[in-house]
Each structure stands twice: as C-alpha cells, then as structure tokens.
Amino acid sequence: MRQIIVALLALVIVAPAFGKDDWYRVFGPDGNHLIVTCKAALRVMDANDPKTGTGTTQDAYNDGYCQGLVSGVASSINSEDGADLTTPNPSISQLIRVVQKYMDDHPEELSKPAIWLIRVSIIKAFPKKS
C-alpha cells in the first residue's frame, strides 16, 4: 500500500513538469495497441446488436477501451489546438472511424503514442474554420 501511495505521489509531482504539448508523448500505449482495440470497437459497433454475444469478451473490453480513450482525448481538444468539434459535433463512432482511417493510412506512425495519434487524426479531420 505504501508503495502505491509513493508511486501516485511521484506521478502527481512529475506529471506537471511536462509541458502541455508533451505529456501525451510519455504516457500510455502506442498505435500498435490502439489499432487492435479500435478495430474490435468498430466490429462491435457494426454488429446489429452488440449485446447478443456476437463478439468475444475481449472485443467488449477493447470496445470500451477504445471508446473511452478516443472520447477522452477528443474532449480535451479545443479551438486552440486547431480543431472545431462543436459545429459538426461528431459521434464517438465517427471519431473512432476517423482515428482508425488515419492509422490505416499511416502505418509508419503506429509506434507513436496512441494519444498523439488520436489528437492528430481528429485535428486533421475537423480543422478549425477561419
């Protein structure tokens, strides 16, 4: 228990040391993990009824992981980042498809952090209108 508290305290102290644009380069999985989870999420979303057991338990976990990560990152993007998510107001399904397409089109970037890939793909898909 003591080790967990020390680790969390260290994270709280160290995390603010990273600049606004750098924190997502350090934490989390890379695109190789994200592409697998988001493909599973799209399979679940495209199924007629995801609650009928058409997918595996792992697909359900991957679906939740991808939806949570993409929606979390999307909610942190604002007009200062060069994106506008208010006018089109994309659904989580649309955001995941945008991210998946970007990863499919740019396999050379899959070694980059997943959060970076999500940010870049959403900002490019929904640029701020001047």
81-101 pLDDT per residue, tens: 888 888 888 999 999 999 999
Count other C-beta atoms under 10 Å from residue 21's C-beta. 10
Q: What are phi and psi of 114, to 5 degrees?
A: -60, -40
Q: Report which secondary-structure segment, H or E, holds 35.
A: helix 31-46
Report the alpha-carbon distance of residue 50 to residue 56 in Å, rounded. Answer: 10
11-40 pLDDT per residue, tens: 555 455 444 555 545 567 899 999 999 999
Q: What domains appear along the chain, each with residue ranges and CATH number?
A: 20-125 (1.10.890)
Look at residue 117 in the predicted model and tell me its pLDDT. Answer: 96
41-95 pLDDT per residue, tens: 998 888 855 455 567 888 889 999 999 999 999 999 988 888 888 888 899 999 9
**What pTM was computed for the model?**
0.74
Report the alpha-carbon distance of residue 57 to residue 54 in Å, rounded. Answer: 10
pLDDT tier at 122 (50, 70, 90 boundaries)? Answer: very high
Report the alpha-carbon distance of residue 71 to residue 94 in Å, rounded. Answer: 11
